[in-house]
Amino acid sequence: MDLENCFRIPAWLLMISLVVMAAGIGVLVSAEETHVTHTAEAPAIQEKSKQVTETPPAESFDAPHMILTNDERDEIQRKIDAAPKYSAAGPVPQGTVSLLSYLPYNATEREQGHAGDCWVWGSTGALEIEHAIKNGIFDRLSIQYFVDNSGIGPLGYYSACRGGSPNRFAAWYSSPSENPGMKVVPWSNRNALYDPHCSIPFTPAPPVSTSPAYQLKSISVSTVETKDVPQATAINNIKSALSNNHPVIVGYHYAPATANAFHKFWSSQPDTAIWDPSRYNGDTGDGGHIMLIVGYDDKTDPANPYWLVVNSWGAPANRPEGTFRLAMNMDYAAVIHPADEKTKSSPQHSFQVLDVTFADTPQVPVVSSISPAFGPAGTTVSITGIGFTKTTAVTFGGTPAASYTVTSDSTITAIVPAHGGQADVIVKTPVGISEGVASYVYTYDGSPARGTTTKSPLSLFTVAAGSGAVCLLQRVRKMK
């Protein structure tokens, strides 16, 4: 052993190091940052802390909400009015429609915290469903990628935390300068988990890895016609969108009292109860919330038809799927008045759909991480990356996995087969194999490590058993 890069340590410290190594715990320290970064665990199991947003205004909201100035709200309404219109080609019969099964989500993790970025959750959910239906790719997409890159607002943190609209969402994703390559990042990418960083003092979030990623060809927004039309027409237009596999992003502007009443309904009523906002027509206030309509039912109980809506407030015990029912026979002509301009009014609700086309180039599978990266045969590992939907084989050093399950386009769970040494982990699909793009190694117990699965610049501290020394082996890999 080369002792020039080693230093002697007491026996008790060596024993602790050996215990840590035996437990399979790697200690990783950033080579470029002074604070501790993520371990080499798969991104899907990284933990991030939620942060509290700004102090609420005098009229306090119990629930997360958007904070919009009058000018911002007016601009949003102008874009809603100017967007292409979506309307039904004809009458849509009574029935039951649900797109919820196309939404790749964990209801508990679909939680915006105290940030006002509900509009990103609603719009991203629509994008996920469009991706699943049009391309057969069932994969969670990163909220954090958008939030991180949306710019810093006047309050000193990410502007997405204050509020926005589907129009702004589509404009950002289609902007070559703001989103080069029109990328859409999987939730499983490094640092792509949700952590809004909407607190003061502001601390920037660690950068989200943009490799691997899906690519958009185009994205825009159409407004479902509900304004200045009869209630029956508004309902038929929304039903038509859903029947044609387009989830509907619903915007809801309200006063604090209304918001708090809705929050109480959300937290205390069963998910079979129906929320009717009609009684709050003429509200005065500046709050807002955006959610996603994924279905409807006007057949089971024609007297009480409803829209099925996915929220971004987690999954309380009374709402295990994170959904609620919105009255279909609501007042679509309802208005709201700004708190400081009570003579003005704007629609209390808006309904929009995304028009999305993804790049049609087939995705060659890419493996971006494996966790755990070492252990015995029979270990269950999580393989993350992209392009896994039509996987035909997963191999470890050429030996087929004992079994594997494709849980999403970016995640595979596999059981390590008997092999030994270091084994390249390869994913095969009809499009190609991951070996030509990226090769990741699984190290069997008792074998010297050949590499590390992380793509971050990291310093790896390894205990040299039997030498009484600890060697610092610095490996810096280029961050993609």
pLDDT in tens, 190-245: 999 998 777 666 778 889 999 889 999 999 999 999 999 999 999 999 999 999 99
Q: Is the pLDDT of residue 455 over 60?
A: no
**Number of CB atoms found within 10 A of residue 202's CB:** 16
Cα angle 421, 424, 425; round to 5: 120
Q: Please tell me the pTM assigned to this model.
A: 0.73
Residues forming a β-bridge with 346? 336
* Alpha-carbon span 169 to 7, nearest angstrom: 54
Of residues 431 and 472, which shows the higher confidence score?
431
- Mean pLDDT computed over every residue of the chain: 79
pLDDT of residue 405: 95
pLDDT of residue 73: 85
Q: Is the pLDDT of residue 381 over 60?
A: yes
Q: Which residues contact 418 (CB under 8 A, 6 or more apart)?
A: 377, 399
- pLDDT-derived band of residue 393, with 50, 70 and 90 as boundaries? very high
Q: Which residues contact 39 (CB under 8 A, 6 or more apart)?
A: 26, 28, 46
Q: Is the pLDDT of residue 457 over 80?
A: no
What are the sequence ranges of the domains in the chain?
3-46+364-475, 66-358
Query: For 59-117, where are the alpha helices, taking DSSP H only?
Result: 70-82
* Alpha-carbon span 473 to 480, nearest angstrom: 22
Cα angle 98, 182, 154; round to 5: 90
* Alpha-carbon span 382 to 414, nearest angstrom: 7
Which residue, 79, 52, 59, is CA-closest to 286? 59
Cα angle 159, 163, 164; round to 5: 95
pLDDT of residue 434: 87
Residues forming a β-bridge with 423? 442
Report the run of H or E that residue 326 belongs to, with start and end.
strand 323-327
Compute the residue count for the chain: 480
**Number of CB atoms found within 10 A of residue 183's CB:** 16
Please state whether beta strands 96-98 and 403-408 pair in parallel, antiparallel, or not at all (unpaired): unpaired
Structure tokens at 474: 């610095």
Please state whether beta strands 66-67 and 469-475 pair in parallel, antiparallel, or not at all (unpaired): unpaired
Q: What's at 289, amino acid-wise?
A: H
Instruction: Specify the CATH class of 3-46+364-475 in words.
Output: mainly beta
Of residues 450 and 472, which shows the higher confidence score?
450
Min mean pLDDT across 36-40, 101-105, 262-266, 433-437 is at 36-40
Helices 70-82, 166-173: crossing angle, 10 deg rounding: 70
CA 231 to mean position of chain CA atoms: 34
Please state whether beta strands 283-284 and 335-337 pair in parallel, antiparallel, or not at all (unpaired): parallel
Strand, helix or coil for residue 193: coil
Q: What is the DSSP letter of 84?
A: P
pLDDT of residue 257: 84
Which residue, 327, 346, 339, is CA-closest to 228? 346
Residue 355: burial class (beta carbons within 10 Å; 0-12, 13-18, 19+): middle
Residues 65-73: what's their mean pLDDT?
A: 82
- pLDDT-derived band of residue 10, with 50, 70 and 90 as boundaries? very low
* Alpha-carbon span 133 to 106, nearest angstrom: 18
* Alpha-carbon span 367 to 454, nearest angstrom: 11
Q: Is the CATH number of domain 66-358 3.90.70.10? A: yes
Helices 166-173, 118-135: crossing angle, 10 deg rounding: 60
State pLDDT tens for residues 23-58: 333 322 222 222 222 222 333 323 333 333 333 344
Strand, helix or coil for residue 110: coil
What are the DSSP calls for 201-226, one per residue?
Answer: S--PPPPPP--S-EEEEEEEEEEES-
